[in-house]
Amino acid sequence: MKNSDPVSQRQKKYLLAIRRNSILIQVSRILLFVFFVGIWEISARTGLIDSFIFSSPGQILEKMKEMLLDHTLIDHVSITLLETLISFALVTVLGIGCGVLLWAFPRLSLILEPYLVVSHPDERMRVFDPCLWMDPLGRLWFTWSQSLGYFDGMHGVWASVCDAPDAPQPTFGPPRRIANGVMMCKPIVLSDGAWLFPCAVWSKWARPEEAPETEGERFSNAVVTTDLGQTFVRRGGADVKNRCFDEHMVVERKDHSLWMLVRRYDGIGESFSYDGGYHWVGRGHSGIPGPCSRFFLRRLRSGKLLLINHVDFRGRNNLAARLSDDDGKTWSTGLLLDGRDNVSYPDGVEDENGTLYVIYDRERLKDREILLAVFREEDILRGAMEQQDLCLVERRVVSKAGVRE
Protein backbone atom coordinates (compact mmCIF):
# COMPACT_ATOMS: atom_id res chain seq x y z
CA MET A 1 0.00 0.00 0.00
CA LYS A 2 1.25 3.45 -0.87
CA ASN A 3 2.54 5.44 2.06
CA SER A 4 0.55 8.67 2.23
CA ASP A 5 2.54 10.22 5.07
CA PRO A 6 4.12 13.36 3.50
CA VAL A 7 6.83 13.53 6.13
CA SER A 8 7.89 9.94 5.44
CA GLN A 9 7.94 10.61 1.72
CA ARG A 10 10.12 13.69 2.24
CA GLN A 11 12.40 11.66 4.49
CA LYS A 12 12.77 8.96 1.81
CA LYS A 13 13.55 11.55 -0.85
CA TYR A 14 16.04 13.20 1.49
CA LEU A 15 17.82 9.89 2.23
CA LEU A 16 17.87 9.05 -1.49
CA ALA A 17 19.39 12.45 -2.24
CA ILE A 18 22.06 11.85 0.41
CA ARG A 19 22.85 8.40 -1.03
CA ARG A 20 23.14 9.77 -4.57
CA ASN A 21 25.32 12.59 -3.36
CA SER A 22 27.58 10.13 -1.52
CA ILE A 23 27.98 7.99 -4.65
CA LEU A 24 28.70 11.08 -6.75
CA ILE A 25 31.37 12.18 -4.28
CA GLN A 26 33.07 8.76 -4.26
CA VAL A 27 33.09 8.51 -8.07
CA SER A 28 34.37 12.07 -8.36
CA ARG A 29 37.19 11.31 -5.92
CA ILE A 30 38.27 8.30 -7.99
CA LEU A 31 38.13 10.26 -11.23
CA LEU A 32 40.03 13.14 -9.65
CA PHE A 33 42.72 10.72 -8.43
CA VAL A 34 43.05 9.17 -11.89
CA PHE A 35 43.19 12.64 -13.44
CA PHE A 36 46.02 13.85 -11.19
CA VAL A 37 48.01 10.63 -11.62
CA GLY A 38 47.63 10.97 -15.39
CA ILE A 39 48.72 14.62 -15.34
CA TRP A 40 51.69 13.67 -13.16
CA GLU A 41 52.80 10.92 -15.57
CA ILE A 42 52.31 13.06 -18.69
CA SER A 43 54.18 15.99 -17.15
CA ALA A 44 57.12 13.77 -16.27
CA ARG A 45 57.25 12.15 -19.71
CA THR A 46 57.04 15.46 -21.60
CA GLY A 47 59.58 17.24 -19.40
CA LEU A 48 57.14 19.74 -17.85
CA ILE A 49 58.46 18.62 -14.46
CA ASP A 50 61.83 17.16 -13.51
CA SER A 51 61.22 13.43 -13.09
CA PHE A 52 64.44 13.15 -11.03
CA ILE A 53 62.93 15.42 -8.37
CA PHE A 54 59.21 14.63 -8.69
CA SER A 55 59.49 11.06 -10.04
CA SER A 56 56.41 9.70 -11.86
CA PRO A 57 53.82 6.93 -11.35
CA GLY A 58 55.51 4.81 -14.00
CA GLN A 59 58.94 5.13 -12.38
CA ILE A 60 57.47 4.28 -8.98
CA LEU A 61 55.79 1.13 -10.28
CA GLU A 62 58.97 0.12 -12.14
CA LYS A 63 61.06 0.60 -8.97
CA MET A 64 58.58 -1.41 -6.89
CA LYS A 65 58.76 -4.24 -9.43
CA GLU A 66 62.56 -4.12 -9.30
CA MET A 67 62.62 -4.28 -5.49
CA LEU A 68 60.14 -7.16 -5.48
CA LEU A 69 62.37 -9.14 -7.80
CA ASP A 70 65.57 -8.55 -5.79
CA HIS A 71 63.72 -9.00 -2.45
CA THR A 72 64.67 -5.57 -1.06
CA LEU A 73 61.14 -4.13 -0.85
CA ILE A 74 60.52 -5.53 2.64
CA ASP A 75 63.83 -4.05 3.87
CA HIS A 76 62.95 -0.59 2.59
CA VAL A 77 59.41 -0.76 4.03
CA SER A 78 60.78 -1.89 7.39
CA ILE A 79 63.22 1.03 7.55
CA THR A 80 60.42 3.50 6.66
CA LEU A 81 58.12 2.04 9.34
CA LEU A 82 60.91 2.20 11.93
CA GLU A 83 61.61 5.86 11.12
CA THR A 84 57.87 6.59 11.36
CA LEU A 85 57.60 4.91 14.78
CA ILE A 86 60.65 6.76 16.07
CA SER A 87 59.20 10.07 14.84
CA PHE A 88 55.86 9.27 16.48
CA ALA A 89 57.59 8.47 19.77
CA LEU A 90 59.60 11.70 19.68
CA VAL A 91 56.50 13.77 18.96
CA THR A 92 54.63 12.06 21.81
CA VAL A 93 57.43 12.75 24.29
CA LEU A 94 57.79 16.35 23.15
CA GLY A 95 54.02 16.86 23.27
CA ILE A 96 53.78 15.58 26.83
CA GLY A 97 56.78 17.68 27.82
CA CYS A 98 55.26 20.83 26.32
CA GLY A 99 51.95 20.09 28.04
CA VAL A 100 53.65 19.78 31.44
CA LEU A 101 55.64 22.96 30.75
CA LEU A 102 52.52 24.96 29.89
CA TRP A 103 50.76 23.61 32.99
CA ALA A 104 53.71 24.52 35.23
CA PHE A 105 54.08 28.05 33.78
CA PRO A 106 50.62 29.63 33.23
CA ARG A 107 52.07 32.86 31.88
CA LEU A 108 53.92 30.96 29.16
CA SER A 109 50.65 29.21 28.33
CA LEU A 110 48.91 32.58 27.89
CA ILE A 111 51.74 33.86 25.66
CA LEU A 112 51.73 30.80 23.40
CA GLU A 113 47.97 30.32 23.28
CA PRO A 114 46.31 33.74 22.95
CA TYR A 115 43.26 32.59 21.04
CA LEU A 116 39.98 30.98 22.00
CA VAL A 117 39.38 28.20 19.49
CA VAL A 118 36.21 26.24 18.88
CA SER A 119 36.69 22.99 16.99
CA HIS A 120 34.49 19.99 16.28
CA PRO A 121 35.52 16.33 16.13
CA ASP A 122 33.49 15.86 12.93
CA GLU A 123 35.49 17.50 10.14
CA ARG A 124 32.30 17.91 8.12
CA MET A 125 30.89 20.26 10.75
CA ARG A 126 31.18 23.93 9.82
CA VAL A 127 31.85 26.11 12.88
CA PHE A 128 31.49 29.81 12.05
CA ASP A 129 30.31 33.35 12.88
CA PRO A 130 31.61 33.82 16.44
CA CYS A 131 30.17 36.62 18.58
CA LEU A 132 31.14 38.08 21.98
CA TRP A 133 28.68 39.70 24.40
CA MET A 134 28.95 40.86 28.01
CA ASP A 135 25.71 40.24 29.89
CA PRO A 136 24.37 42.44 32.73
CA LEU A 137 25.93 40.07 35.29
CA GLY A 138 29.42 40.71 33.92
CA ARG A 139 29.70 37.31 32.27
CA LEU A 140 31.25 36.99 28.82
CA TRP A 141 29.20 35.01 26.31
CA PHE A 142 30.99 33.42 23.37
CA THR A 143 28.49 32.28 20.76
CA TRP A 144 28.95 30.65 17.37
CA SER A 145 26.99 28.70 14.77
CA GLN A 146 27.35 25.13 13.53
CA SER A 147 26.15 23.39 10.40
CA LEU A 148 26.78 20.03 8.81
CA GLY A 149 28.30 21.44 5.63
CA TYR A 150 27.62 24.96 4.41
CA PHE A 151 23.88 24.81 5.11
CA ASP A 152 22.09 21.79 6.56
CA GLY A 153 18.67 23.43 6.62
CA MET A 154 18.76 24.15 10.34
CA HIS A 155 22.13 25.38 11.62
CA GLY A 156 22.42 25.88 15.35
CA VAL A 157 23.49 28.66 17.71
CA TRP A 158 25.84 27.48 20.47
CA ALA A 159 27.13 29.32 23.51
CA SER A 160 29.85 29.04 26.14
CA VAL A 161 29.94 31.42 29.11
CA CYS A 162 32.91 32.75 31.09
CA ASP A 163 31.89 33.82 34.62
CA ALA A 164 35.13 35.72 35.31
CA PRO A 165 36.44 37.22 32.04
CA ASP A 166 38.99 39.43 33.86
CA ALA A 167 40.65 36.49 35.61
CA PRO A 168 44.33 35.80 34.78
CA GLN A 169 43.21 32.56 33.15
CA PRO A 170 39.59 32.91 32.01
CA THR A 171 37.73 29.64 31.68
CA PHE A 172 34.60 29.01 29.66
CA GLY A 173 31.84 26.63 30.59
CA PRO A 174 30.69 23.67 28.51
CA PRO A 175 29.12 24.57 25.16
CA ARG A 176 25.36 24.21 24.76
CA ARG A 177 22.91 24.68 21.93
CA ILE A 178 20.49 27.54 22.55
CA ALA A 179 18.56 27.91 19.27
CA ASN A 180 18.18 26.93 15.65
CA GLY A 181 19.79 29.16 13.06
CA VAL A 182 22.67 31.64 12.97
CA MET A 183 23.38 34.59 15.26
CA MET A 184 25.82 37.15 13.85
CA CYS A 185 24.90 40.18 15.98
CA LYS A 186 24.88 40.93 19.69
CA PRO A 187 21.90 40.28 21.98
CA ILE A 188 20.11 43.17 23.72
CA VAL A 189 18.57 43.57 27.17
CA LEU A 190 14.92 44.68 27.14
CA SER A 191 13.38 47.04 29.67
CA ASP A 192 11.52 44.14 31.36
CA GLY A 193 14.83 42.34 31.99
CA ALA A 194 14.52 39.77 29.19
CA TRP A 195 17.50 39.12 26.93
CA LEU A 196 16.77 38.97 23.19
CA PHE A 197 19.12 36.98 20.96
CA PRO A 198 18.70 37.76 17.20
CA CYS A 199 18.89 34.31 15.59
CA ALA A 200 17.95 33.65 11.96
CA VAL A 201 17.06 30.46 10.13
CA TRP A 202 17.99 31.26 6.55
CA SER A 203 15.15 30.89 4.05
CA LYS A 204 17.11 31.58 0.86
CA TRP A 205 18.72 28.13 0.58
CA ALA A 206 16.03 26.14 2.40
CA ARG A 207 14.71 23.01 0.66
CA PRO A 208 11.55 21.18 1.81
CA GLU A 209 13.42 17.92 2.41
CA GLU A 210 15.94 19.57 4.72
CA ALA A 211 14.89 20.04 8.33
CA PRO A 212 11.11 20.24 7.74
CA GLU A 213 10.66 21.03 11.44
CA THR A 214 12.09 24.53 10.84
CA GLU A 215 9.50 25.39 8.19
CA GLY A 216 7.69 27.75 10.57
CA GLU A 217 10.79 29.58 11.77
CA ARG A 218 12.74 30.45 8.63
CA PHE A 219 12.71 34.12 9.58
CA SER A 220 14.69 36.80 11.38
CA ASN A 221 13.83 35.48 14.83
CA ALA A 222 13.69 36.82 18.37
CA VAL A 223 14.98 34.16 20.77
CA VAL A 224 14.46 35.25 24.37
CA THR A 225 15.62 34.18 27.83
CA THR A 226 13.86 35.48 30.93
CA ASP A 227 15.95 33.53 33.47
CA LEU A 228 19.43 34.99 32.88
CA GLY A 229 20.37 32.55 30.15
CA GLN A 230 19.27 29.27 31.69
CA THR A 231 16.53 28.57 29.10
CA PHE A 232 15.69 30.03 25.70
CA VAL A 233 12.43 30.33 23.77
CA ARG A 234 11.76 31.55 20.24
CA ARG A 235 9.00 34.16 20.53
CA GLY A 236 8.53 35.03 16.87
CA GLY A 237 10.20 36.21 13.70
CA ALA A 238 10.02 38.83 10.95
CA ASP A 239 9.60 37.85 7.30
CA VAL A 240 11.31 40.83 5.67
CA LYS A 241 11.25 40.75 1.88
CA ASN A 242 14.43 40.45 -0.19
CA ARG A 243 16.58 39.75 2.86
CA CYS A 244 20.12 38.38 2.57
CA PHE A 245 21.74 36.42 5.44
CA ASP A 246 19.39 38.41 7.75
CA GLU A 247 22.10 39.69 10.14
CA HIS A 248 19.29 41.48 11.94
CA MET A 249 19.70 43.79 14.90
CA VAL A 250 16.98 44.94 17.30
CA VAL A 251 16.58 48.00 19.51
CA GLU A 252 13.84 48.85 21.97
CA ARG A 253 12.28 52.20 21.19
CA LYS A 254 11.22 54.75 23.80
CA ASP A 255 7.60 53.54 23.60
CA HIS A 256 8.87 49.98 24.38
CA SER A 257 8.14 48.68 20.89
CA LEU A 258 10.91 46.76 19.13
CA TRP A 259 12.48 47.95 15.88
CA MET A 260 14.31 45.33 13.82
CA LEU A 261 16.64 46.19 10.96
CA VAL A 262 17.52 43.42 8.50
CA ARG A 263 20.12 43.21 5.75
CA ARG A 264 18.54 43.23 2.29
CA TYR A 265 19.98 42.95 -1.21
CA ASP A 266 18.85 46.52 -1.85
CA GLY A 267 19.71 48.10 1.51
CA ILE A 268 18.21 47.65 4.98
CA GLY A 269 14.71 46.34 5.72
CA GLU A 270 12.66 46.83 8.86
CA SER A 271 9.95 45.27 10.99
CA PHE A 272 8.23 46.19 14.27
CA SER A 273 6.93 44.31 17.30
CA TYR A 274 4.56 45.75 19.89
CA ASP A 275 4.35 42.72 22.17
CA GLY A 276 7.96 41.93 23.05
CA GLY A 277 8.86 40.02 19.90
CA TYR A 278 5.98 37.54 19.60
CA HIS A 279 4.47 39.16 16.50
CA TRP A 280 6.15 41.33 13.86
CA VAL A 281 4.51 43.71 11.42
CA GLY A 282 6.01 45.28 8.32
CA ARG A 283 8.43 43.59 5.96
CA GLY A 284 9.55 46.37 3.65
CA HIS A 285 12.47 48.75 3.20
CA SER A 286 13.51 51.04 6.05
CA GLY A 287 14.59 53.85 3.77
CA ILE A 288 18.20 53.36 4.91
CA PRO A 289 20.45 52.53 1.93
CA GLY A 290 23.21 49.96 2.02
CA PRO A 291 25.40 47.83 -0.28
CA CYS A 292 23.98 44.50 0.96
CA SER A 293 26.35 44.29 3.90
CA ARG A 294 26.18 44.01 7.65
CA PHE A 295 25.58 47.16 9.71
CA PHE A 296 25.64 47.92 13.45
CA LEU A 297 22.78 49.37 15.51
CA ARG A 298 22.86 50.10 19.25
CA ARG A 299 21.31 52.40 21.84
CA LEU A 300 23.95 54.40 23.68
CA ARG A 301 24.04 55.45 27.32
CA SER A 302 22.92 58.93 26.26
CA GLY A 303 19.70 57.50 24.82
CA LYS A 304 20.70 58.16 21.21
CA LEU A 305 20.80 55.40 18.62
CA LEU A 306 24.13 54.64 16.95
CA LEU A 307 24.10 53.31 13.39
CA ILE A 308 27.30 52.29 11.63
CA ASN A 309 26.71 51.75 7.94
CA HIS A 310 28.01 52.66 4.48
CA VAL A 311 27.12 56.15 3.21
CA ASP A 312 27.45 57.60 -0.30
CA PHE A 313 28.89 54.22 -1.16
CA ARG A 314 30.24 52.51 -4.25
CA GLY A 315 30.31 48.98 -2.95
CA ARG A 316 31.55 48.47 0.59
CA ASN A 317 33.34 51.77 1.13
CA ASN A 318 32.70 54.88 3.26
CA LEU A 319 31.94 53.19 6.58
CA ALA A 320 30.49 55.88 8.85
CA ALA A 321 28.91 56.34 12.30
CA ARG A 322 25.65 58.29 12.61
CA LEU A 323 23.40 59.26 15.54
CA SER A 324 19.65 59.59 15.99
CA ASP A 325 17.83 61.13 18.96
CA ASP A 326 14.32 60.41 17.62
CA ASP A 327 14.42 56.60 17.45
CA GLY A 328 15.70 56.42 13.88
CA LYS A 329 13.38 58.91 12.17
CA THR A 330 16.32 61.17 11.31
CA TRP A 331 20.09 60.71 11.43
CA SER A 332 23.05 63.05 11.86
CA THR A 333 25.50 63.71 9.03
CA GLY A 334 27.91 61.27 10.61
CA LEU A 335 31.58 60.58 11.17
CA LEU A 336 33.60 58.78 8.48
CA LEU A 337 35.43 55.84 10.07
CA ASP A 338 37.08 54.49 6.91
CA GLY A 339 36.62 55.69 3.34
CA ARG A 340 38.58 52.92 1.67
CA ASP A 341 37.12 50.11 -0.44
CA ASN A 342 36.06 46.75 1.01
CA VAL A 343 35.55 47.82 4.62
CA SER A 344 32.66 45.99 6.24
CA TYR A 345 31.02 44.10 9.11
CA PRO A 346 31.24 46.63 11.96
CA ASP A 347 30.65 45.65 15.58
CA GLY A 348 31.05 47.82 18.64
CA VAL A 349 30.76 48.48 22.37
CA GLU A 350 30.54 51.56 24.57
CA ASP A 351 32.48 51.77 27.83
CA GLU A 352 31.25 53.36 31.04
CA ASN A 353 32.88 56.67 30.09
CA GLY A 354 31.07 56.91 26.75
CA THR A 355 34.03 55.96 24.56
CA LEU A 356 33.00 53.91 21.52
CA TYR A 357 35.11 51.01 20.28
CA VAL A 358 34.23 49.69 16.82
CA ILE A 359 35.93 46.85 14.96
CA TYR A 360 35.51 46.04 11.27
CA ASP A 361 37.34 44.19 8.52
CA ARG A 362 39.11 45.43 5.39
CA GLU A 363 39.99 43.47 2.26
CA ARG A 364 39.00 40.16 3.85
CA LEU A 365 40.22 38.15 0.84
CA LYS A 366 43.44 40.11 0.28
CA ASP A 367 44.96 42.06 3.18
CA ARG A 368 42.67 40.39 5.74
CA GLU A 369 42.80 43.22 8.23
CA ILE A 370 40.75 43.68 11.39
CA LEU A 371 40.75 47.31 12.47
CA LEU A 372 39.71 49.14 15.64
CA ALA A 373 38.25 52.66 15.57
CA VAL A 374 37.93 54.63 18.82
CA PHE A 375 35.84 57.80 19.08
CA ARG A 376 33.09 59.55 21.07
CA GLU A 377 29.60 60.88 20.47
CA GLU A 378 30.82 64.45 20.15
CA ASP A 379 33.13 63.37 17.31
CA ILE A 380 30.10 62.08 15.39
CA LEU A 381 28.18 65.31 15.99
CA ARG A 382 30.99 67.31 14.40
CA GLY A 383 29.97 65.75 11.11
CA ALA A 384 33.45 64.89 9.77
CA MET A 385 32.67 63.06 6.54
CA GLU A 386 35.87 63.87 4.68
CA GLN A 387 38.91 61.62 4.50
CA GLN A 388 41.18 64.37 5.82
CA ASP A 389 39.03 64.64 8.96
CA LEU A 390 39.88 61.12 10.11
CA CYS A 391 42.10 62.69 12.79
CA LEU A 392 38.93 62.64 14.91
CA VAL A 393 39.09 58.83 14.89
CA GLU A 394 41.81 56.77 16.55
CA ARG A 395 42.23 53.87 14.12
CA ARG A 396 44.66 50.98 14.15
CA VAL A 397 45.07 47.46 12.81
CA VAL A 398 44.59 44.81 15.49
CA SER A 399 44.98 41.77 13.25
CA LYS A 400 46.40 41.29 9.76
CA ALA A 401 46.48 38.09 7.71
CA GLY A 402 46.25 35.95 10.82
CA VAL A 403 49.02 37.80 12.68
CA ARG A 404 47.94 39.09 16.09
CA GLU A 405 49.24 42.58 16.95
The answer to whether 22 and 15 have CB atoms below 8 angstroms apart is no
Q: How far apart are CA 200 and CA 260, in angstroms?
A: 12
What confidence tens digit (pLDDT) does each residue in 74-131 have?
887 888 888 888 988 888 888 888 778 777 877 666 666 555 677 788 888 899 999 9
Query: What pLDDT sits at residue 103?
Result: 75
What digits encode the pLDDT tens for the residues 296-331? 999 999 999 999 999 999 999 999 999 999 999 999
Q: Does 2 or 296 have the greater pLDDT score?
A: 296
pLDDT tens by residue, 26-36: 888 899 989 98
Q: Per mean pLDDT, which range of 50-59, 92-101, 342-351 is the poorest?
A: 50-59
Bridge partners of 224? 196, 233
Contact 307, 331 (CB under 8 A): yes
Q: Which residues lie below 8 Å from residue 83, measured CB to CB, with a gap of 6+?
A: none
Q: Do residues 203 and 266 lie in contact, with contact meaning Cβ atoms separated by under 8 Å?
A: no
